[in-house]
Amino acid sequence: MNSTFTSIMRIVLGLALLVFGLNKFLNFIKMFEMPPAAANFMESLETTGYVFYIVAIIEISVGLMLLFKKWVPFALVLLAPLTVNILLFHLFLDVSDIAVAIVIFTFNVILIYKYWKAYRPLFQY
């Protein structure tokens, strides 16, 4: 659980989430042209006035938890639905940028596996 490999994955994933979450507020990374369906989806998230920012807050919070190694198993479970949605978004709406989505999803799955001991009590009855 505390191997160098796990620590590197945790830090890289934490940094990525922190950067992408902060970008939703500060717009320091220029967004590339998206296919119309993907652009419509992103626009609808922004139009709600809250969903886009809730996702950003979750990304920032989970990123910080991973970077500071606080509540990592909780952070990974909180991140799981987001990573699935990021992967599905890129798979169905914007396949050109799917590489980052695959990396984030894979890191989350591997880290959940590495911290599986913390989740074991959830599956006992």
pLDDT, one tens digit per residue, over 77-87 is 999 999 999 99
Q: Is the dihedral of CA 35, 92, 66, 9 positive or negative?
A: negative
pLDDT of residue 123: 86
pLDDT of residue 70: 93
pLDDT of residue 68: 96
Buried b (16+ CB within 10 A) or exposed e, 58-97: bbbbbbebbbeeeebbebbbebeebbeebbebbeebbeee
pTM recorded for the entire structure: 0.89
pLDDT of residue 1: 57
Q: How confident is the model at residue 108 (pLDDT cuts 50, 70, 90)?
A: very high
Q: Give every CB contact of residue 17 below 8 A, 6+ residues apart in sequence.
A: 59, 60, 62, 63, 66, 79, 104
State mean pLDDT over 92-117.
Answer: 93
Q: How confident is the model at residue 6 (pLDDT cuts 50, 70, 90)?
A: very high
State mean pLDDT over 106-111.
Answer: 96
